[in-house]
Structure 1
């Protein structure tokens, strides 16, 4: 009888610990006012409004470089992390499918439909992330990627010998090789200084980040070749997520959906604002948008990158890419 009573007390104590209010740590790879920061803030607001839990957001640079942050997330030091496939590509090679050039349409409604309904995102990728100790909560777009350089270019030949910084992704290296450039993987903290000292000639990022990180200050031309959109993924440490009571799992999923729905509209409004701010701060900057005809040689070069993706990822990557293409076709309808 006494043993049963003690066991009952222990069970009650464990339940109390599992359901008590906690402060969860959430790291992003941008500033708090950028797209990932806005998503994280909306996530935080929902969690704190609907529970006793708190969210502490760590903007880029507060916990080290991207590789450091991911290690902390996998180790359970962080409960949540937002990181793009450009950095997780070595960890989850198949995620580099989001880096393939000329896969995504430039139609914003089709892009929204894809991220909402994609079987690849919602059914296939979670299994791959789980193998790395991560619970995939959401993937979302952050806007079209542009390329900043010191001189204008309209064809791959113009990029010959030009050092273009890329994230530490094998596929981005292959992409810029195909585009004629010299791909230069660099940690984000080194980019501005490397542009300033002419160690590199350019880099790629969405427009809001070119403005936010002041990359236009050390660039002369911003070019849109229509090759990609910037995608990011929000993840939880899997052991942490699996240990949550059903109520908190549901809360986290609802907060993710709430922030996702907000960010799809928000990220569309910031491109023009970013361009206007850049023009105001640096009137000499040149904005270039390549025509369909000018883009064709880049599209042709991209075919070699698709082959390299299959080489890097094997049947698993081929299966996911085929599903993504089907999903995109459905989204366009």
Structure 2
């Protein structure tokens, strides 16, 4: 299970605390109704939202309606960082967040952000469904747990300057990244100029030229209509993007055992469903993107160069992630 980030805008959180204090009682629930606020940052057409709707329905079914989940999509309760902070503080009970939100609590989570660590989804499944995944989920993260693994797929680079065909094409490009230190280091190693910024600001930043491009999976890129403000989409597959669902520790620990089990089992089933949606959608969205902008693949020989260029990231993070943990994870996928 999980936890998170360093406080973000103080005024935002302070006002949120005051609003919650006066309007929403803390974790009070009657014997017949337990209410959960679940926050995420993507549109309702995205696989994340569909996965959460599946979770909502499953947990209601398993508890005979005792658990009522209300989903707040598309950043209604703030961005990834703010939503994660809200769960830590007990303002929301559950939220979607990225691995970077957990680094301060457990640096092992940075494993999932290492560039070119996973070759394919088979590698991903070996890690998240095996001992390494179990080890990550076994520890609380601050005042939260991580229920399990959803995903956004493999990320690719888009931009307005040129198609990425060689490592040299990355040089100098201003690429928006998540606020994940591993991602920032990876793009620096590739010769680009990483520019972390909130996801909600990205469309306008590309439209106005604040950044040249971004890096996201095909499904999210298409859903957000980034093709309207980008010319090139290059299939770099440079990093896998896991989506983690936090649940407030005090809230979860205070639930009856049968409700805890229902929540965990419902989420595990919904997460598997969500991951399958993403994987089915990848190829379809790439074909759809070809009608919107220029899409290109990179030869295996060039992917090797990208991988070699990012090896410094492994050296920098080995001590934080833990040499033994990294070696065990690498061995599990014959890396």
**Which TM-score tier does this pair reach, normalised by the shorter chain?**
0.7 to 0.9
Q: Which residue of structure 1 lines up, in the alignment, with residue 48 of structure 2?
A: 36
**Is 1:21 matched up with 2:33?**
yes
SS of the counterpart of 1:147?
Answer: strand
Alpha-carbon deviation of 1:18?
5.8
Partner of 1:144: 154
C-alpha separation in 2, matches of 1:179 and 1:36: 29
C-alpha contact (below 8 Å) 1:115/1:140 kept by paired residues:
no
1:56 aligns with 2:66: no
Give the structure 2 partner of residue 11 of structure 1. Answer: none
Is the CA contact 1:25–1:78 (under 8 Å) kept in the aligned structure 2? yes
Q: Kindly indicate whether the alpha-carbon contact (under 8 Å) linking 2:137 and 2:148 is maintained by their aligned counterparts in 1.
A: no
- 1:116 is matched with which residue? 129
Q: Distance in 1 between matches of 2:94 and 2:177?
A: 25
Secondary structure class of the residue paired with 1:184: strand
Q: Does 1:274 align with 2:276?
A: no
3-state SS, counterpart of residue 228 of structure 1: strand
1:81 matched to 2:95? The reply is yes
5 Å matches for 1:1-333?
Answer: 19-51=31-63, 52=65, 53-89=67-103, 92-106=106-120, 108-117=121-130, 119-127=131-139, 130-150=140-160, 151-280=162-291, 282=292, 285-311=293-319, 313=320, 316-329=321-334
RMSD: 2.0
Residue 244 of structure 1 aligns to a residue in which SS?
Answer: coil
> Displaced runs of 4+ in structure 1, greater than 3 A?
16-19, 86-93
Q: Structure 2: any 5+ residue segments left out of the alignment?
A: 1-27
The whole-number CA distance in structure 1 between the counterparts of 2:29 and 2:117 is 47
Which is worse superposed, 108-117 or 194-203?
108-117
Q: Which has the higher helix share?
A: 1
Cα drift, residue 63 of structure 1: 0.9
The equivalent of 1:4 in structure 2 is: none
Q: Could you give the per-residue CA deviations for residues 171-193 of structure 1, whole angstroms, max 9, x where no partner exists? A: 11110000000111111111111
CA distance in 1, matches of 2:259, 2:324: 33
Q: How many residues align?
A: 305
Deviation at 1:57, TM superposition (A): 0.5
1:279-308 Cα offsets, whole Å, 9 max, x none, are 34x2xx111111111112211111101011
Consecutive unaligned residues of structure 1, counting only runs of 5 or more, are 1-15
TM-score normalised to the size of structure 1?
Answer: 0.86
Distance of 2:185 and 2:295 partners within structure 1: 25
* Distance (whole Å) between structure 2 residues aligned to residue 212 and residue 143 of structure 1: 14
Most deviating of 235-244 and 93-102 = 93-102
Measure how far apart 1:123 and its partner are. Answer: 2.0
